[in-house]
Amino acid sequence: MKTGVLAESFRLPFRDALRAAKKAGADGVQMYANTETVHADMTAAQIRDVRSALADEGLCATALCGDFGCNMYYTRDRAAIDREKRIMEIAKELGTDIVTTHIGVVPQENCPQRDAMHEVCGELARFADSMGGHFAVETGPETAKTLKGFLDELNSRGVSVNLDPANLVMCAGDDPAEAVRTLGAYIVHTHAKDGKMLRKTDTRRLYAPSYFGLEPESFESCVLETPLGEGDVPWARYIAALKEIGYDGWLTIERECGDDPAADIAAAAKFLKKYL
């Protein structure tokens, strides 16, 4: 397995973030696809510039993050769907087959929201299949068992999983090691993040309350992100499970809070080396 980092976690200009990633010991970076540097309207020259910047630091792209809000999966937003497809094409041009995203909460019961999500994810999965890419759904709002059931219905290898163990612990209350075994070959990318659940809640209140007629709750009142090793992710069992299924891809460090992200990321890279 290889260590990557989400470039935006450094909260620095793009090239400075790449230098910081290299200094932290990363081999690659994931990049958000809604920034001034990486976006759906990139020209060929802009794509070359990003490839050159990565090469200058000896880094590669682990994945792009095509996260445009879960509303597109409940409303069949055509413009957002087309933008997601374009991001998959740009990802290929930047040297990665993987685009990760949050799709919101997969309803366990049949309902209009699930029907819309099934339709949109099916279209994106078929598009990914057509180009040999991966549209990778990030774990978190539901258990691995629920997510796998939904993915199985799509009957595609283009739709896959970005496994975030902290989201499973913080939001779904699921065991990341067992989630690895459940999702298995769907896993094409992972985030290295840690955290704790502060209070159990209906995750629809966190991710998409308006689409289910619910009152919203804040993430801050229910979950706590921590540095790696200080949360409830069982790292030894989790990494062992990844090895068990033959996963040899990226562990991409994501740090969404903290006063000194560079120090936290460097510590995270050092922490991961104990298990690799």
Minimal CA–CA distance to 256: which of 218, 234, 221, 226?
226
130-145 confidence digits (pLDDT tens): 999 999 999 989 999 9
- Tokens 């819309």 locate to 116
The per-residue pLDDT for 108 is 85
Q: Which CATH class is domain 2-273?
A: alpha beta
Q: Could you state, in order of their start, the residue ranges of all structural domains in the chain?
A: 2-273
Q: Do residues 136 and 165 make contact, with C-beta atoms less than 8 angstroms apart?
A: no
91-141 confidence digits (pLDDT tens): 999 999 999 999 999 998 889 999 999 999 999 999 999 999 999 999 989
24-79 confidence digits (pLDDT tens): 999 999 999 999 999 999 999 999 999 999 999 999 999 999 998 888 999 999 99
Angle at 154 between CA 153 and CA 158, to 5 degrees: 145
Q: Which helix (H) or strand (E) holds 91?
A: helix 78-93
166-207 confidence digits (pLDDT tens): 999 999 999 999 999 999 999 999 999 999 999 999 999 999
